[in-house]
Structure 1
Amino acid sequence: MYVIASESAALAQATGRVLLAGTENDLDEMRAIIATLGDRARGQVFVEVPSAADIDPIATPERVTVTWLARDVRTGEMGSGLACAPGQALGRAVSAWVGEMSTGEDVFDGDGLCAWVGRSVPAAYLDRAV
């Protein structure tokens, strides 16, 4: 079962896996949400930033992993030669993670997935992801 959290409080109350996805514009809110997660939380945080110079480590519970996605070292659409647009790397990362970590069947997955997506993430890139 997938739950898309529109409020940060829903993520703090999640009993299964968590997924947070946002850009540099969502960092303050993401940090606040992560601070509410319990020690038993498990899941993934994706943060897309303009460059590696914008990475500012985030403390998380032990079973929550943070992956930083720097746009300046990624490309846009395959074969286009274009730069990575804001939200593009994030959409690919979320799509890959959900595809790898979830079948969509509670019987196989074992528990639910509660996801939160930052307000600054263009919907066009996440529509393909989930």
Structure 2
Amino acid sequence: MPPHILLVGDSADLPALGAMLRGLSADTYGQVYVEVATAIQIRALPAPVNVSVTWLCRDRATSALDVIPRGIGALAHRGELASRAISAWVAEWQPCEPREPAVLSDPDASGTREDDYALWIGCSAGERISDFYRRLQQCLDEPRHP
């Protein structure tokens, strides 16, 4: 089975994301989510053909957290779009038989280890992502039952 990855970052993570993507094998498949303030921050990333890169532009999305709609030029809260994307990915790709994912903590890591899933979540400056990451880590640290 080829490596399956999820990489999530924001504009500050673009150099790390680029380094990780360059190190992936050609048969890697998966998803990259990059949250940016506006489309002007979108850059070409060297992703393998089976790795989809989705840009989450905060100026093009409304916030689920706002009761009163904000005016023109308002941005979704930092980390909100990335958090929603991670939630959707986990809901879709969480294997029926839980396995320990490989966590890529080194931007120079290739992600081509024999683990079924490799996850890397940046956006560390975003409070929502930090909270989500802690919850995901707790979930992964829980004992597994067959």
TM-score between the two structures when normalised by the length of structure 2: 0.67
CA distance in 2, matches of 1:58, 1:73: 21
Paired residues for 1:89-108 under 5 Å: 89-106=81-98
CA contact (8 A) 2:21 2:47 kept: yes
Q: Structure 1 vs Structure 2: percent identity of aligned residues? A: 33
1:124 paired residue number: 131
Structure 2: runs of 5+ lacking an equivalent: 100-114, 140-146
Paired residues for 1:1-130 under 5 Å: 16-80=3-67, 81=69, 83-106=75-98, 112-118=116-122, 119-122=124-127, 123-127=130-134
Q: Which one scores higher on RCO, CA 8 angstroms, separation ≥ 6? A: 1
TM-score between the two structures when normalised by the length of structure 1: 0.74
What is the count of residue pairs matched by the alignment? 113
CA distance in 2, matches of 1:41, 1:121: 28
CA distance in 1, matches of 2:97, 2:41: 37
- How big is each residue's C-alpha offset from its partner over 1:18-73, in whole Å with a ceiling of 9 and x where there is no partner? 10000001000110010100101111000000111211121211111000000011
The secondary structure found in structure 1 opposite 2:131 is helix
Structure 1: runs of 5+ lacking an equivalent: 1-14
How far does residue 104 in structure 1 lie from its aligned partner after superposition?
4.7
Residue identity in the other structure for 1:33: M
Q: Over aligned residues, Cα RMSD in angstroms?
A: 2.4
Q: Which ranges of 4 or more aligned residues in structure 1 deviate by more than 6 Å?
A: none
Distance change >3 Å, CA 79–CA 86, structure 1 → 2: closer
Which one has the largest radius of gyration? 2
